[in-house]
Amino acid sequence: MIQGIDDAESQLQKEKQTQKGEEKVEHGTKDIQKTAEKSQKAKKQPMSKKNTSMRKKAVIEPDRMSKKQVFSFRAVLTDIVIWKSYAIASGKTMEDICNVAMNEYLNKHKLAGAEQAIFEALKARDGIGRE
Domain boundaries, the chain: 1-32, 77-131
Backbone angles phi, psi at 115, to 5 degrees: -60, -45
* 35-61 confidence digits (pLDDT tens): 656 655 555 555 655 555 555 555 555
Please determine, for residue 115, whether its predicted confidence score (pLDDT) is greater than 90. Answer: yes
DSSP-derived secondary structure for 1-52? -HHHHHHHHHHHHHHHHHHHHHHHHHHHHHHHHHHHHHHHHHH--PPPPP-H
Q: What is the pLDDT of residue 107?
A: 93
* Band (131; pLDDT cuts 50, 70, 90): very low
Q: What's the mean pLDDT when you consider all of the chain? A: 74
Least confident of 60-74, 101-115, 117-131: 60-74
Position 29 scores a pLDDT of 58
Report pLDDT digits (tens) over 75-112: 899 998 999 999 999 999 998 999 999 999 999 999 99
CB distance 62 to 126 below 8 Å: no
What span, in angstroms and rounded, lies between the C-alpha atoms of 86 and 94? Answer: 9
